[in-house]
Amino acid sequence: MKIAVDDLSGSDVAAFLQAHLDQMHELSPAESVHALDLAALRAPDITFWSACEDDDLVGCGALKVLDARHGEVKSMRTDPARRGQGIAGQLLRHILAEARARGLVRLSLETGSEEFFAPARRLYARHGFQPCPPFADYTDDPLSSYFTLDLTLPPGRSG
């Protein structure tokens, strides 16, 4: 699998992200959907990666820099036909390494609290993320779960 920065200009990634947004809106009311559209992902504080196997787009993820010390994981998605094959874990490890290389000391994220999102919550917990209160511009929402990771700890350790 190849993970590479994506300029978001391809029709395949546009369709992949639109499917993500559509699914999030099917699962949650609009006020609880925090997935970013294509235009928002093009912001200068966001780096977006696509994961491809052969010529197939199989996953994506992004890093949003909140400030000089804190980043946020955004737009994690795996092709539904490829879930359970370790793609999300590889993407997350890539984002963690990039966040550390940029000197960030904390990485946070928001994901859903419904059963559909349980595999995502388990993935983040396996990588050391701990539940936390809402961060940045997020507010308390019973349909959201918030997690954070101290990047100053060695990989595999949480605090």
For the segment 63-74, what is each residue's pLDDT rounded down to a tens digit?
Answer: 999 999 999 999
**pLDDT tens for each residue of 115-135:** 999 999 999 999 999 999 999
Average pLDDT, the chain: 93
- How far lies 55's CA from each of 2, 50, 51, 86, 142, in Å? 10, 11, 10, 18, 39
Please give the model's pTM, rounded to 2 decimal places.
0.92
Return all residues near 76 (Cβ < 8 A) that are at least 6 apart.
Answer: 59, 60, 61, 62, 88, 91, 92, 109, 111, 120
**How many structural domains are present in the chain?**
1
Instruction: Answer whether residue 157 shows pLDDT above 90.
Output: no
pLDDT at residue 154, rounded to an integer:
73
Structural domain containing residue 34: 2-150
Classify residue 159: in a domain, yes or no: no
**CATH number of domain containing 47:** 3.40.630.30
Query: Is 110 contained in some domain?
Result: yes
